[in-house]
Amino acid sequence: MQRDEDLALPDLSRAEPKTLDTAIAEFRADPKKLDLTAPPIVLEEKDTTEAVDESHALTIADARAMALTNNLDLKIALIDPSIAATVVSEEEARFDDLIFARAKYSNKDTPFLDGDVVNFKAVDKNSPLNDEIAKLGYMPQSAEQWDVEAGIMIPLRTGGTVTLSTPLENKSKSRFVASDQYRSALRFSMSQPLLRDAGISTNVAGIRIARYEQQIVDLKTRLQSIRVLATVDKAYWALYAAWGELDIRRQQYEIAQQNLTMVKRRVEEGLTAAIEINRAEIGVAERMESLIVANTRLKLSQRQLLQFLNDKRYGIDTSTIMIPETSPMLVSFDFDREALARKALDGRLELLELELKLAADATKIDYLENQTLPMFMLDYSYGTQGRDYDDFGGAYGDTFTGRYDDWSVGLRLEIPLTNELRKSRLSRAVQQRLQRLTTRDLKELTVRREIYDALDTVSQNWQRIIAARQNVVLAGANYDAELKQFEEGLRTMTEVLEMLTKLGDSQMKEVRAIADYQVGLIDLAYATGTLLGYSKVDLAGLISK
């Protein structure tokens, strides 16, 4: 725990640290030392003539596949359905039949014991024992006894229990009067509640709730997949926008450099004042900063996407350059707002999850209502017995003669004095369901708002694309006009650069509008609960793996 928390930055530098003055002096001596290179990208038609080292063309489908395969959050979520399935198995196992067996051996050596004083009443009136009084004595005995019982216990979904068993007993005595006897029996017993814990619906409530929970876990897994896809898609289009910005900033920088070269030539020819060189150099410096920022933003956007993809082939700080290959969907839609709202209310996983929770609440309330009833049990048993002096086989055969049978039937009743515990549990379950019903109403209202917000955002971004495209055309024409007037001596380089800046800003607005339009479509698919279909993803196969 005794760690040195000091961070010596100079020690971590691979080269001698430089001051700002030194860095500026070196740049002025050799401007090429500043790394402003980046692979080219064009928004609509990609220029593949320029070679790029260690680049990878990435489609949005590839990005989705990588994320669904490698995303750690999703890997964790995919384990939850298996866990939920085991909970269902646990509840169903309550009705597993139980085979039981027990055996007991005992050995007793008893001494002579005084017994009770008895009065004889003989059946024969002339018997000499009639009305005689005698004291009985228990002779010393040595007794060995085996008690064995085996059977099966069957839980019923009605709440009762059926038991079938066959007990066996062997008892041997020695000393004085020896005896050896075998006894066996066949027994059937049943215990069935008539009020509390009675009924199939009450006893399978745990299974039903577990299955609802399993379906809820499946929905949560799908929802997690949707969130991962939405995040990856947005990161993909953020990378697309970063590439577009870098391309525009590089074009701006190159045009400014060309203007500077042109101004220097005109100054040498005496066609332009020397002050225009300083103005052109200012324009180059300003665009250099924008290019540096755009280059860094591209790296940050790529690193964010790689984090979501989590592909082992590409480290988080890989030198491989990811180039978006999928073209944006530049298609306008006239959506039926109410139809989309209804689709969202039917398909949003959060609403389906609430419905399953409400169903589980209803099952729980029915069960707790049953638990408030008194305990009233019906018990019944029937058995036949047999006896033999030789072995268990004879005793067991004697049980089928029906000469020695017994049966019983009884009722048991338990009534709590207050029953407040069970009533309180029922009241709490009812209140939780009412709370969830209110939550569902709020969620439906929220879903409707999200749908309408997404629709308005999509419409807005489409109009932004159209407006930005027109602005780019006009700004380009104006720049050409300003540059021509500069060559004629009617404009300064400052005015030319201002129009170049407006052209770059218009191009940036178009790039951002295109990326925002793609994100708006993603948000619309998410709001309607159809992002998996929008992304053409089959989650069932992924969960099965």
Q: Which residue has the higher pLDDT, 85 or 37?
A: 85
Q: What is the pLDDT of residue 340?
A: 84
| Domain-embedded: residue 140 | no
Closest-CA residue to 501 (of 479, 485, 473):
479
d(C-alpha 176, C-alpha 183), whole Å: 23
Closest-CA residue to 518 (of 144, 239, 258):
239
Question: What is the Cα 83 distance to its own chain's centre?
Answer: 11
Question: Interior CA angle at 141 toward 136 and 144, to 5°?
Answer: 135
Closest-CA residue to 526 (of 230, 103, 112):
230
Question: What is the Cα 369 distance to its own chain's centre?
Answer: 32
Q: What is the pLDDT of residue 529?
A: 78
Residues of the domain holding 225: 56-84+207-356+436-535
Polymer length of the chain: 545
Helix (H, G, I), strand (E, B) or coil at 132: coil
Q: What is the rounded average pLDDT of the residues 303-316?
A: 87
Closest-CA residue to 236 (of 188, 313, 338, 244):
244
d(C-alpha 279, C-alpha 35), whole Å: 23
Q: What is the phi/psi pair of residue 191, to 5°?
A: -125, 125
Both tokens of 493, joined, read 């380089």
- Please classify residue 387 by burial: count the beta carbons closer than 10 Å to its beta carbon, then call 0-12 exposed, 13-18 middle and 19+ buried: middle
Q: Which helix (H) or strand (E) holds 105?
A: strand 98-110
For residues 479 and 496, the answer to whether their CB atoms sit within 8 Å is yes
Residue 459 makes CB contacts below 8 A (sequence gap 6+) with none
For residues 239 and 301, the answer to whether their CB atoms sit within 8 Å is yes
The total number of structural domains that make up the chain: 1
| Domain-embedded: residue 264 | yes
Q: What is the rounded average pLDDT of the residues 263-284?
A: 86
Q: What is the pLDDT of residue 11?
A: 59
- The predicted-structure confidence for 100-131, as pLDDT tens digits, reads as follows 999 998 888 878 777 888 888 888 888 888 88
For CA atoms 466, 471, 474, 476, the dihedral sign is negative
| Domain-embedded: residue 30 | no
| Domain-embedded: residue 268 | yes
Q: What is the pLDDT of residue 42?
A: 37
- Please classify residue 282 by burial: count the beta carbons closer than 10 Å to its beta carbon, then call 0-12 exposed, 13-18 middle and 19+ buried: middle
| Domain-embedded: residue 36 | no
Q: Is 516 left (phi over 0), alpha (psi -120 to 50) or beta?
A: alpha
The CATH code of the domain that includes 284 is: 1.20.1600.10
| Domain-embedded: residue 178 | no
Q: What is the rounded average pLDDT of the residues 27-53?
A: 45
pTM score > 0.85 for this model?
no
Q: What is the pLDDT of residue 99?
A: 94
| Domain-embedded: residue 195 | no
| Domain-embedded: residue 410 | no
Q: What is the pLDDT of residue 456?
A: 92
Residue 471 makes CB contacts below 8 A (sequence gap 6+) with 506, 509, 510
Percentage of the chain modeled with pLDDT above 90 = 32
Whether residue 154 has pLDDT greater than 50:
yes
Strands 179-193 and 161-174: antiparallel
